[in-house]
Structure 1
Amino acid sequence: MALVGLLDPSSEEINIIRAAGAAKGYADGLVLSINENAPGGQGPTGTAMRNGGIQVVEDALTDTLYAQWRERAQKYGIRSSISVPIMADGDVSGILIVYAVKPRAFSELDINIFIDLARKIKISIDILKKNETIRNKLNTMARQYRQFESIMSSTSEGFITADLEGKIVNVNNAYCNDLGYEKSELIGKSILFLSESFSKNEILKDIRYIKKFGSLSFTTVHRHKNGTLVPFRVNATYDDSLEERIFAFFHNISDIAEVSEELEDLRKSHREQERQVSETRQLLISVSEETLRQIGHDLHDDIGQILTGGAMLAADLSKSISACCQGAVGNRA
C-alpha cells in the first residue's frame, strides 16, 4: 500500500490526499503531523518531514518509532514502511509513504526508486496546483464577464472597451444609439474611425497615459453616422484583470448649455494663449538693436519661429472650437 500526504502549514498536520493498495483502509482516520510534540509527529513520517530525509521501518513489530501504530499495522498485515519527503523549493511540502507486508522489504534500489517517484509526485502536485489556479482564474473571469455584461446592458451611458492599440473590442447599446450605429459596425474599428477631436498619435498617447496612471477624464467629439458631431465627456480606466483593456464611459453632453460651458473653457484658454503670444511679441519689438546683437541673431531667429508656430497653433485652435460649436448646434437641431 502507498499513500501521499501534503503538509498543512497552519495545523502542521499531514492531509492524506491519495491512498492505494490492498491495505488502503490503513489510511482511514490516520493522523500524522510534522510537530514533534504531537502524537502523530513522533513516528517515522513526522521525523522524515522534520529532517528532510527518508525514514525506513524495517519491522513494525519491533521498531520503537512505530509503537503507537503497531496495532493498526497488524490489523492490515503491515510489517515495514518507507517515508520519503516531497520537497518544494528546499522545503518539505508532503510525504510519500510505501508499506510492505514483510519485514526488511526495501532494498537500496527500491529506496532510490521511491526517491525518484517522490520527485515525480512533486511535479504532478505542482501541475495540479497550477491547474487549480487556472480553474479559479477562469471562474473569476467568467464571473467578472457576467458582471461586465450586466453593466454594459443596463447603463444609460455609452460604454466602450478598447485594446491598447485603440481598437474597439466591445460596445454597448447606449453608445450605438448615441451615434446611430449597430454593434457589428463598430467592433473591430479603431476609435480614430469615430473621433473628430484626436489624431491616431494623440489617441495612443492617451492610452499610454491611462495604462500608466490608471485613469483619464476628458471631453471629446465623435461623429454620428449621419455626419453630425456628438460631444462626450469621457471617463476612461485601465484594467488588466482579464486582458489589457481600456474601459471608457461616454456621457453624452449634447445639451447646448453643457456644451457651451465646455467650449467657453476652451475659448478662455485660447484667449490666454493669444494674450501671452501678443505680450511676448511686443516685448521682442521693444528690445533694442544693441540688445539683439548681444543675444545673437540665431536666438532671435529661433524665438521668431516659436512665435510664428504659436500664432499658427492659436489659429488652428480657433478653427477647432468653431467647428465643435457648429457640430454641437447641428446635433442639437
Structure 2
Amino acid sequence: MTGNHLKKQLWALEAYANSAKVLSHAKTPEELIQGVCEGITKQYPYVIAWVGIAENNPEKTVRVAGMSGKAKAYAQGIFVTWDGNKPNGRGPTGAAIRLGEPQMMRDSELDPNFAPWRERAALYGIRCSVGIPIFADEKVIGALTVYTCEPDSFSAAEIDLFQNLANEIGHGLALLQERSLLEEERKRRELAQQRLFDSLELTIGAMATTMEMRDPYTAGHQKAVAKIAQAIAKEMGLDKDVIHGLKMAALIHDIGKVSIPSELLTKPTKLSPLEYSLMKEHVNNGYLILKDIPFPWPIADMVRQHHERLDGSGYPQGLKGDEILMGARVLAVADIIESMSSHRPYRPALGLNKAIQEVLVEAGQGKLDPTVVQAAVKLYDRGELGEKMDK
C-alpha cells in the first residue's frame, strides 16, 4: 500500500469515527443527518458533506436534509435531480440515487458530467466528490455526498467505508421513523383512552349530580370521602391509575341510596332493625346500577364491597381478607373517618380524633386493613387529614 493510499484511508477512517458517534444517540432524523455530516467535515480534506433525500415528484428533485463543511455555501440553493435525462441529474448524487451504486467524480476540472457545477465548484476549491446511495428497506431513499479539496480523493476502500456509513444512516432513519410511528400510535391510544376516561368521568359526575339533587348530604359525603381516599392511597404509594379509579368509585360509592326512601336518609333518630336492613341494600343497589358500565377499574365491585370487613363481619357478602379489593379497603376507612367526623341527622359530629381512634380499634380487631389505617394516621399526625374534610 502506498503512502498516498494509506493517507486516504486514514482520512476516511477518522471521518467515519467522528460520524459514528452520533448514530446511536440521535433522537430525530435531522439530528442524525446533521451529526453525520458534521463528523465527516471535521476531517481534512472533506469540505462539504450533505445528505439528499430523493423526492418522487415530476422533477425528481433531491431535497437537502442536512449539510456541513467550510465550503457548504457551494451547495446552498443548488438544484440537483436524480433524473438522468437532465444535466443536473448526472452528477454523483443523482446518479447514486438512480443507479443504487456509489458514483465518484474524480476531478471537477475534467469530469464531463460535472459541467453544470464546474465554475461554481472552482470558487470553493472543490476538486472531487463521491455520491453514496442510502438504502432503507432495500430501497434507495437518497444519497450521502462528500466533497474534497483534492482530486482523486477516494479509492475503493474509502468508498466502501462511506457506503457502510450511508447504510448506517439508512438504518438509523428507518429506526427513527419506526419509533416515530410507534410514538404517534402511543399518543393516539392515550388520547382515545383519555377521551374514554373523560366520558366516564362525565358519567360519574352526572350520577353525583343526581345524588346531590335528591340528597345534598350524601353528595357532599361522597366528595369528602373521595378526597380522603385519594390522600390515603397516595400515602400508601398506590399506582396513579389505581388512585384514579378509587377516586371515581368514592365519588359514587353511595349511589345505591337513590333507591332508599328519603325519609330514611334524613331520619333524625336511630334506624330500626328493619330500616337498617333496608339501608344496607344500598351497596347491592349501587352495584346493580354500575356493573354494566365499561369502567377500566372495578368500580362496581369497590362500591359493593366498601362495607365489607377483613374478618368477614361486613356486608353484603361477608367477604374476608384478600377477597376484598384494596380499593374497597381504602374506601371503608375513608368512609368511617368522614362519617364520624361529620354531622348526621341523628347526631352531631364526633370529630376527627374520635374517628381516628375508631379506625385504629377496628384495625386492631381485624376488621379494617392496618396498612390503610396506618396511612390515615400518618396523614392525621401531619395535620393533612383535616383539610380533606372540607366539602
Q: TM-score, normalised by structure 2?
A: 0.42
> Higher strand share goes to which structure?
1
Q: TM-score, normalised by structure 1?
A: 0.49
